A and B are shown apart, each in its own frame.
Chain A
Amino acid sequence: MALLEFSEKGIYCPQADVYIDPWKKVNKALITHGHADHLKAGMTSYLCTPSAAPVIRHRINAAPGQVQTARYGEQININGVSFSFHPAGHILGSAQIRAEYKGEIWVASGDYKTEDDGLCEAFEPVRCHTFITETTFGLPIFKWKKQEILYQEINQWWQQNRANGVSSIISAYALGKAQRILHGLDTSIGPVFCHASVEHVNRIIRNQGIDLPYSMYVTPSTPRQLLKGALVFAPPAVINSNWINRFAPYEIALASGWTALQERRKRKGHDVSFTLSDHADWSALNQAVEACGAETVYTTHGYSDAFATWLRSKGFNAQVADIQFNGDEE
């Protein structure tokens, strides 16, 4: 019996009878982070890191006591299996989950990035025998620029738009990407507004004692004059709605790792793009696999087959994790 298995409900530990990031109803769920493809409502109990918990409670509308927390590195013993959470650097509170039983160690990475963004807990490699890694960008064509350069590009774009009286709208996910960019902004340029879904998350995160730059809700009573030349965060879902008309004239920027490809940049709906990702690029994935010292690697999400083939050619025992598709990625 393997310590972790890929079941139709999620990554399963039979010895402890718990699931990691399950997508069907189970009793005990260990959650790596609060993005929609890793967190589903309806489990009896949840366990996650303290810094991930507020957003998770908000997103699943949790009952008191339903979401419990374990600090990074804290050992949680469930039926002889020792579980612990370790920083994954993906978003605030995101974790890799380590499981140890009779000397055998597995790590499920969840989503991760190795670059320290200064906002969330920085990625730490965890030694293990078997590593389940995400491979969203598991091809050598994905190489990220340093975030400082991207922040500089974003600030320049905003500054130029502001000088022309044009609002700058950034299409970014409400949890994670929006806060990361907000953290990297030069807020001396002008005011920052957020769509309610983004600002909700911002406030939850500020309440955790995280120092995020000041941002405001956009309300129907917000004076148009104030919106002119402002920077606005909006989730991708509202970019095509009437909601953004109030900012006219505006330019829309898409901040996503996928904009590395010209085919995606040429898609309509945005004027400029910034290739900023919260996932590891090719070299970071390779480094992470090397650093954890695993002999066996399972790949999941994105280009899992190509990455597994590559790892096998490098002498790893690698295969694609048999996980079914379970909703939109963030």
Chain B
Amino acid sequence: MRDFARLLEKLEKTDRQDSKVLALQHYLRHAEKEDVLWAFTLLLQKEQYLLTDTDTLSRWAMEYTRTPASLFFYATDITFDARETIALLTQDPERTVTAISLARLAKELSGLKGLDQVSIKNYVLSCWAYMDYEQALLFNKLISGGIQPGISSRILAKALSGVSGLEEPTLYDRLCSNWHPDIISLQELLAGKNTDTILAKAYPFPQPVMVTDVPAFDPDQYAWLNQPAGIEIQLIVRNGQLYFHTRTGSSFTGRFPELQSLVHILPDHTVLLGSLIAQAGAENILEQHLLYNKSTATGLLHFAATDLPEDSQENQCRFPYSQRRASLEQIVDRADHPLLILAPLLSGKPATAATPVIIQDRKAMYGKGSFLLPSDQPALYLVLIQATSGTGRRTEFYSDYTFGAWLDGQLVPVCKTKTGIQSRYVAEINDFIRKNTLRQFGAVRSVQPLLVCEIGFKNIERSDKNRYGISFSQPYFIKTGRTIPVTEAAHVKDLLLLAGQPPN
């Protein structure tokens, strides 16, 4: 379990693929053999062990460690993750530590699924009593909110290939296939035994070329369609089984039970490319499915098909898009299933760039002649409240910022980013930080809340991992707003409105 915790930290520390591969290989060489397959399961997010939520876990930890709520939340503003606060509070450096294996933990956690909260609480407290900080941090993450290691089957196959000497594409196919550590061993997975490798094989995803200037609208030459807002997926029907594959090589086979009925409706050996989208107001359903693998609501999700790489065992890739689209329309028509729809073609040039648009050459074969027109992204004003020095060539500068929004007359941290900032703004903000430092905590400085910045983002979501319930997805820095008064900055309640409904 410790090896895996260290691996996760290394993976989270770097954005470079080669460093991730090296970290994985180090793990593969040193980890206990029985743990490796469980580690794969967790890295590829094939299995989740969500027993409780972070708020409940925090309550248990406050009670268990007798920490006042004010101190607990103060500390969480520093750690930015209640699950780490808990691990730090429950550890006892004086105690002799028992290390348990990942395989054993995974089995214990599987056995707890569906039990009542009292039993789960007792189990959690018993774990905190023997775990050290490293183990408790991983444990807390696994049971509430899950881990997001950002590892695809492709990266894993690459790492595995360096250690095992097997071919990378072969390993990739095997990792993408349907397997579970309860049933097979690592050797069997590597040898391709007891997995249905070929059946689940996905086609390569098209790589659209980004265009910034809008070309002339010509519906005869190009098909224009909105990029569906959900998650891009290949839906594969083979031998009466339904498989899901994402662009990153993750397999979500076995999820989305509401779509299972498609197996009987679609012709066998058919592969559809498209997006899983949630109905308006139910966006977090997707997240629940993907991250938490729990499906409480049905009928709020549908599949919008955009392309057809394979139809009834016949490879369609060499046919032009117009022909594939016609076959696709037929399939969707014949299926007549409320959850299976066609991504509609646009009848004219889109007036606003609210969603990205795909422009597909009608004569091109599969994966070719595809262009992407990105959307305008929203932005709002937040106030700089903390800064940390950057990395690489920005080591000497404060270039990693925490921004605050108003809550009851106070600025509270809601967003961190270091993305997109230009050097002239770095210089300006550093000057500001030096003159306005309030206090210093190691490498972090808190500053007078005087500087308003414009922050762009892809989306705002509800999150119970953030103390104020807000999570920015892909926030990036646009510019400073020296002349904008601090009172103009966003309020937490507005952000919550933007984020929509809380996840259940």
Chain A interface, DSSP helix/strand/loop, else mixed: loop
Q: With an 8 A cutoff between CB atoms, is A217 at the interface?
A: no
Of residues 287 through 330 on chain A, the ones whose CB sits less than 8 Å from some CB of chain B are 302-304, 306, 309-310, 313, 325, 328-329
Task: Please count how many residues in chain A sit with their CB below 8 Å of the partner chain's CB atoms.
Answer: 33
A267 touches B391 (CB 8 A): yes
Stretch at the interface among A18-26, A52-60, A100-108, A136-144: A136-144
A263 touches B9 (CB 8 A): no
B84 touches A261 (CB 8 A): yes
Of residues 231 through 266 on chain A, the ones whose CB sits less than 8 Å from some CB of chain B are 240, 256-258, 260-266
Complex interface: chain B residues within 8 A of A269 (CB): 391, 395
Q: When each residue 67-92 of chain B gets 1 if its CB lies under 8 Å from chain A and 0 otherwise, what string results?
A: 11011001100111100110011011
**C-alpha spacing A258/B88, complex, angstroms:** 13
Min Cβ gap B142→A in Å is: 15
**C-alpha spacing A146/B93, complex, angstroms:** 7
Q: When each residue 93-105 of chain B gets 1 if its CB lies under 8 Å from chain A and 0 otherwise, what string results?
A: 1100000000000
A268 touches B88 (CB 8 A): no
Q: With an 8 A cutoff between CB atoms, is B334 at the interface?
A: no
**C-alpha spacing A295/B265, complex, angstroms:** 78
A306 touches B443 (CB 8 A): no
Q: With an 8 A cutoff between CB atoms, is A145 at the interface?
A: yes
With contact pairs A310-B68, A313-B68 given, residues A303 and B9 touching in the complex (Cβ less than 8 Å): no
Q: With an 8 A cutoff between CB atoms, is B440 at the interface?
A: yes
A141 touches B395 (CB 8 A): no
With contact pairs A139-B74, A263-B80, A310-B71 given, residues A328 and B440 touching in the complex (Cβ less than 8 Å): yes
Complex interface: chain B residues within 8 A of A261 (CB): 78-79, 84
Residue in B74, B81, B91, B442 whose CB lies within 8 Å of A143:
B91
Q: With an 8 A cutoff between CB atoms, is B482 at the interface?
A: no
A140 touches B439 (CB 8 A): no
Complex interface: chain A residues within 8 A of B93 (CB): 143-146, 149
**C-alpha spacing A140/B68, complex, angstroms:** 10
Q: With an 8 A cutoff between CB atoms, is B424 at the interface?
A: no
Of residues 108 through 131 on chain A, the ones whose CB sits less than 8 Å from some CB of chain B are none
Residue in B67, B84, B443 whose CB lies within 8 Å of A267:
B443
With contact pairs A262-B137, A313-B68 given, residues A141 and B88 touching in the complex (Cβ less than 8 Å): yes
With contact pairs A144-B93, A260-B88, A303-B441 given, residues A309 and B79 touching in the complex (Cβ less than 8 Å): no
Q: With an 8 A cutoff between CB atoms, is B438 at the interface?
A: yes
Residue in B70, B89, B442 whose CB lies within 8 Å of A256:
B442
A325 touches B440 (CB 8 A): yes
Min Cβ gap B126→A in Å is: 20
**C-alpha spacing A139/B78, complex, angstroms:** 10
**C-alpha spacing A96/B465, complex, angstroms:** 42
B441 touches A302 (CB 8 A): yes
B13 touches A266 (CB 8 A): yes
User: Which residue of B has the minimal Cβ distance to A307?
Assistant: B71
Q: Most chain-B CB neighbours within 10 Å: which of A141, A240, A263, A266?
A: A141
B13 touches A265 (CB 8 A): yes
B439 touches A325 (CB 8 A): yes
Min Cβ gap A64→B in Å is: 35
**C-alpha spacing A146/B9, complex, angstroms:** 23
**C-alpha spacing A115/B74, complex, angstroms:** 26
Q: With an 8 A cutoff between CB atoms, is B392 at the interface?
A: yes
Of residues 131 through 160 on chain A, the ones whose CB sits less than 8 Å from some CB of chain B are 139-146, 149
Min Cβ gap B154→A in Å is: 23
Q: When each residue 240-268 of chain B gets 1 if its CB lies under 8 Å from chain A and 0 otherwise, what string results?
A: 00000000000000000000000000000
User: Which residue of A has the minimal Cβ distance to B92?
Assistant: A143
Of residues 4 through 35 on chain B, the ones whose CB sits less than 8 Å from some CB of chain A are 9, 12-13
Min Cβ gap B467→A in Å is: 15
24 examples of A-B residue contacts, CB within 8 angstroms: A139-B75, A141-B79, A141-B85, A141-B89, A142-B88, A143-B92, A143-B93, A146-B94, A240-B396, A256-B442, A258-B442, A260-B88, A261-B78, A262-B9, A262-B84, A264-B443, A266-B9, A266-B12, A303-B78, A306-B74, A306-B75, A309-B70, A313-B68, A325-B439
Q: Sorted from nearest, which 7 A-B pairs have the closest CB atoms?
A: A258-B442, A141-B88, A268-B391, A145-B93, A266-B13, A141-B75, A306-B74
Known contacts A240-B396, A303-B74; 9 further A-B pairs (Cβ under 8 A): A141-B78, A141-B85, A146-B94, A261-B78, A262-B84, A266-B12, A268-B392, A303-B78, A306-B74
